[in-house]
Amino acid sequence: MQQLLRSQSGVVSTSQALDHGWSRDGLRQQVDANRWTRVSRGVYAAQTGRLSDEQRVFAALSMHGDSAVASHGTALWLADRVGDCPRIIHVTIPASRFTERSHPGVVVHRSRDLRPDAVQPSRHPPRVTVERAVVDCLRIAHTDDETLAVIARVIQRGLTTGPRLCPVLASAAALPRRKLALRAVELATDGAHSAAEIRYHQESRAHNLPPAQCQKRVVDGGAEYLDAHYSRHPGRVVVVELDGRLGHFDASSWRRDMWRDSRRVVEGNVVLRLPALPLFTDPGQVMVPVARVLQREGWRGRPRRCRNSRCSCHQAF
């Protein structure tokens, strides 16, 4: 029993406890003595007080039997445990299993294609593979932006790779936005490491801008990576840096970015530091100034209006 508790972060179901020689009266006595906590019907934690994030996942799984596995965003969080655990715990069970329980903060999915190669039962807590979790997340994504964010996250954090992810996406039945997801994998694998950068390159094509080299590595007193780098035109090098929410609010990053931008300008390059948010609302706010600068620096192409009627490119181009 102690080994089971250690492997499940102190969380155990009634059926598991009974299998290990405990009685229902024994479980109640632990709760009455304020040594254990009854998390929900049939699920106990061998402690008092607030559950940890991992214990919350184990509790959600214990509520739905041994065949339940963490899935969707919960499985992605378990893969590297960066940031806070999602407020909603996602659990997947085989479609043949019936569950009548519903619990606050837990969403249960029933799957007919929960194949053994898509599950990692030996991991603690048991979960689907990263690739299956990506497919799960894409199925419930409501927008293109959510799709891009999921792909960018798993590639950026090294949770999977393009060669491993693409076949899974291609074989997933009736996957919404499949083409967008596969294109996002391609871009993210090439180096577009955030949803904003992926969206930037999507919008560049939509507005007929020349292709940029994404996440170009430069070495100048240390390795640096440029979001978008244009050098294939007669004029100066044009660098586009996207300011997003992550990585730009701490003082050290802010100072480093300012010095880097200033150094590029001194060297004779053009640096555009633009906010990332308009890429998801009005991409013309980013694409129009980039197009104007590229034309000034010798690009002979012509930008075009995109299909988004609300984009400000329709007034500029």
Q: Is the peptide bond before 234 cis (omega within 30 degrees of 0)?
A: no
* Domain enclosing residue 202, as ranges: 195-316
The verdict on 222 and 286 lying in the same domain is yes
Using the predicted structure, report yes or no on whether residue 58 has a pLDDT greater than 90.
yes
The verdict on 186 and 200 lying in the same domain is no
pTM score? 0.74
**Which tokens go with 180?**
């967008």
First to last CA, the chain: 70
The verdict on 150 and 112 lying in the same domain is no
The verdict on 165 and 238 lying in the same domain is no
Q: What is the pLDDT of residue 145?
A: 82
CATH number at residue 289: 3.40.960
Q: What is the pLDDT of residue 169?
A: 96
The verdict on 186 and 219 lying in the same domain is no
Using the predicted structure, report yes or no on whether residue 235 has a pLDDT greater than 80.
no
Using the predicted structure, report yes or no on whether residue 156 has a pLDDT greater than 70.
yes
Q: What is the pLDDT of residue 71?
A: 97
Task: Band the pLDDT of 196: cuts 50, 70, 90.
Answer: confident
The verdict on 115 and 39 lying in the same domain is yes
* Minimum mean pLDDT range among 55-69, 156-170, 244-258: 244-258
Q: What is the pLDDT of residue 280?
A: 83
| C-alpha dihedral (65, 14, 81, 3), degrees to nearest 10 | -110
The verdict on 207 and 301 lying in the same domain is yes
Q: What is the mean pLDDT of the chain?
A: 87
* Minimum mean pLDDT range among 131-135, 144-148, 301-305: 144-148
Mean pLDDT of 306-310: 91
Q: What is the pLDDT of residue 314?
A: 96
The verdict on 116 and 139 lying in the same domain is no
Q: What is the pLDDT of residue 237?
A: 87
Q: Cα 78–155–195 angle (5° rounding)?
A: 105
- Pick the residue with more confidence: 193 or 168? 168
* Minimum mean pLDDT range among 114-123, 236-245, 275-284: 236-245
Angstrom distance (rounded) from CA 267 to CA 289: 21
Q: In what order do the strands lie in the sheet with 11-13?
A: 11-13, 43-45, 37-40
The verdict on 219 and 287 lying in the same domain is yes
Mean pLDDT of 57-86: 93
The total of structural domains in the chain comes to 3
Using the predicted structure, report yes or no on whether residue 223 has a pLDDT greater than 60.
no
